[in-house]
Amino acid sequence: MSLPFFITVLIILIYIALFMKKKLSFTANSIQFMVLSIISTNYITIMTNNLDWLKATEDVTQFISLLINRECILPLVGVIMVNGYMNYQKRSEKMLCYLSLLFFISVLDVLHVYFHSLFYPDWSLFNTVIVNGLYLVFCIWMGKGLYYFQKKEEGRYGQDL
């Protein structure tokens, strides 16, 4: 049950990421996606294997849904977060974007617990929400840095990064 749900969420996020207005170039978005994918993969590996704060399921289909979430959905949410954050002008719109995406990825974590693909023996869902909030702040910080380099490159040579 969890695998079709997370595949559907992934497809919807791909459409949103493809058709939304973007301030970052394709290269900058690709760099951000790759770095965020590495960070989220290392996060789940450290939490499950090294610290044993999270326990991943032994069921293959549910574990694949966990991988889809950490490898694809979270980096796509990061790309959507940065481009949405840079497109909005008002602070209230930016905060609404941040809070809605934080709620979205926190609900995905709740669904992992509901589908029994993750267990929290020495960790809590509140800690996960805090880590997700820090993840989105890191996404914004990294996107601003990439945007700075993109603008610097455009100004110097008249082309994109």
Containing 56, the helix (H) or strand (E) segment is: strand 55-56
pLDDT of residue 53: 83
Domains: count for the chain: 1
| Helix (DSSP H) and strand (DSSP E) numbers for the chain | 6, 2
pLDDT averaged per 10 residues in sequence order, the chain, 161 residues: 93 95 94 95 85 86 91 96 95 96 95 89 87 96 95 73 51
Residue 92 falls within a domain, yes or no? yes
Closest CA to 39 of 122, 129, 135: 135
The answer as to whether 91 is a domain residue is yes
Q: Is position 158 within any domain?
A: no
Its domain, for residue 93, covers 30-147
Q: Give a yes or no: residue 8 inside a domain.
A: no
Give the burial string for 128-152 (b: 16+ CB within 10 Å, else e): bbeebbebbeebbebbeebbeebee
Whole-model pTM?
A: 0.90
Secondary structure (3-state) at 55: strand
Q: How far apart are CA 71 and CA 66, in angstroms?
A: 8
pLDDT in tens, 92-137: 999 999 999 999 999 999 999 999 988 888 788 899 899 999 999 9
Cα–Cα distance, 120 to 128 (Å, whole number):
10
